[in-house]
């Protein structure tokens, strides 16, 4: 469970808050999509949830642990249970699919083992199981730079699965993919979410994806939470509230 209590974030040298007094609770089993224009605060919001972004005020509580009370080492331990997938994959192109998936173990291992790339048979099996889950088992020895965009994102998901997270975060993970591949990735994320009973929170540009897959949708505008509801409640007025004059560009029907 994730609880935000009156959370605000302000960057140095910027007058206006990137996040403004957000208070919400997100519980196990919820598949949450966060909508908003570029600059609405979506990435700041997501980075705050795993302590990558410090708060100006308020508190974030993850599984009954207040993040503001933690030292950096303690935060790293919390992040071991929070998986993160990114828009631009953040993979190592020259390494193989299996080697990239194995980097999901790094947070729970001795640094010297990570440095020399020493993995146990058990760790390798966990990584292979993750690759099987994302249908890349046959690609285990292929270099990541040889893969398509959709395949790279699947490697990123496999890497996150290796962490065995309780919380799954995604920062625009499909925005660089074609619509057909984006739907396939979202189907995979939803399947994993349901099988593992995760808390899943994903920033997304595509309103149709959010309406199709989310159990709950959050709408941010200029750092403020202006909508919190279901896809059935995504009316034209809500779209105007989230996107302002640009709402007609969004496919919401």
What is the 3 state secondary structure string of 67-96? HHHCCHHHHHHHHCCEEEEECCCCCCCCCE
- 72 lies in the same domain as 13: yes
Mind listing the pLDDT tens digit for each residue in 68-77?
888 888 888 8
Q: Is residue 123 part of a domain?
A: yes
Q: Is residue 87 part of a domain?
A: no
Same domain, 172 and 251: yes
Instruction: Say yes or no: 37 and 10 in one domain.
Output: yes
Q: What is the pTM of this model?
A: 0.88
Look at residue 232 and tell me if it is in a domain. yes
Pair (103, 197) in one structural domain: no
Of 114, 149, 164, the residue that ends a domain is 164
Q: Do 210 and 233 lie in a common domain? A: yes
Domain count, the chain: 2
For residue 147 the two structure tokens come to 């893969």
Q: How many residues in total does the chain contain? A: 253
Task: Give the chain as a DSSP string.
Answer: -EEEEEEEE--TT-SS-SEEEEEEEE-TT-EEEEE--TTSSHHHHHHHHTTSS--SEEEEEETTEEGGG--HHHHHHHHTTEEEEETT----TTSBHHHHHHGGGGGGS-HHHHHHT---HHHHHHHHHHHHHTT-GGGTTSBGGGS-HHHHHHHHHHHHHHT--SEEEEESTTTTS-HHHHHHHHHHHHHHHHHHT-EEEEE-S-HHHHHHH-SEEEEEETTEEEEEE-GGG--HHHHHHHHGGGGGGS---
Structural domain boundaries, residue 123: 92-164
Q: What is the pLDDT of residue 97?
A: 96
Q: Is residue 192 part of a domain?
A: yes
What value does the mean pLDDT take over residues 75-100? Answer: 88
Residues 50 and 127 in one domain: no
Q: What integer pLDDT is reported at residue 250 of this predicted model?
A: 58
Instruction: Please check whether residue 253 lies inside any domain of the structure.
Output: yes
pLDDT average, residue stretch 12-34: 94
Is residue 36 one of the residues assigned to a domain? Answer: yes
Q: Do 77 and 170 share a domain, yes or no?
A: yes
Tell me, rounded to whole angstroms, the distance of Cα 96 from its chain centroid: 23
Same domain flag for 138 and 14: no
What are the strands of the beta sheet with 2-9, ordered from one edge? 19-26, 2-9, 57-62, 65-66
- pLDDT for 211 beyond 70: yes
In this structure, is residue 18 part of a structural domain?
yes
pLDDT band at 175 (very low <50, low <70, confident <90, very high): confident
Q: What is the CATH number of the domain that holds 250?
A: 3.40.50.300
Single residue among 130, 164, 198 that ends a domain in this structure = 164
Distance CA 1, CA 198 (A): 9
Same domain, 158 and 171: no
Same domain assignment for residues 153 and 189 = no
Render pLDDT for 43-84 as a digit per residue (tens, 0 to 9): 999 999 988 899 999 999 998 999 988 888 888 888 888 998
One domain, residues 10 and 120:
no
Where is the domain boundary, 144, 164, 184?
164
Q: Is residue 86 part of a domain?
A: no
Please write the tens of the pLDDT for every residue from 131-169: 999 999 999 999 999 999 999 999 999 999 998 899 999
Distances (CA, A) of 169 to 15, 37, 98: 28, 19, 22
Q: State how far the Cα of 70 lies from the Cα of 251, in Å rounded to an integer.
A: 42
* 170 and 253 in a common domain: yes
């Amino acid at each position: 469970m994730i609880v935000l209590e009156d959370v605000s974030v302000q960057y140095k040298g910027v007058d206006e808050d990137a996040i403004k007094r957000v208070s919400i609770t997100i519980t196990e089993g919820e598949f949450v999509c966060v909508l908003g224009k570029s600059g609405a605060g979506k990435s700041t919001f997501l980075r705050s949830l795993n302590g990558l972004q410090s708060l100006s005020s308020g508190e974030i509580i993850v599984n009954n642990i207040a993040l503001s009370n933690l030292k950096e080492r303690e935060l790293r331990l919390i992040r071991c249970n929070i998986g993160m997938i990114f828009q631009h994959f953040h993979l190592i192109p020259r390494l193989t699919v299996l080697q990239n998936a194995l980097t999901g173990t790094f947070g729970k291992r001795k640094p010297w083992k990570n440095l020399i790339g020493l993995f146990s048979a058990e760790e390798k099996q966990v990584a292979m199981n993750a690759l099987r889950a994302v249908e890349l088992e046959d690609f285990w020895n292929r270099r990541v730079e040889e893969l398509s965009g959709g395949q790279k994102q699947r490697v990123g998901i496999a890497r996150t699965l290796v962490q065995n997270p309780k919380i799954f975060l995604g920062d625009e993970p499909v925005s660089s993919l074609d619509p057909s591949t984006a739907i396939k990735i979202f189907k995979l994320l939803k399947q994993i979410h349901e099988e593992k009973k995760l808390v899943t929170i994903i920033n997304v540009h595509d309103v149709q994806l959010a309406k199709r897959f989310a159990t709950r949708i959050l709408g941010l505008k200029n750092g403020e939470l202006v909508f919190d509801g279901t896809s059935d409640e995504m009316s034209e007025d809500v779209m105007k509230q989230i996107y302002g004059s640009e709402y007609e560009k969004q496919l919401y029907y």
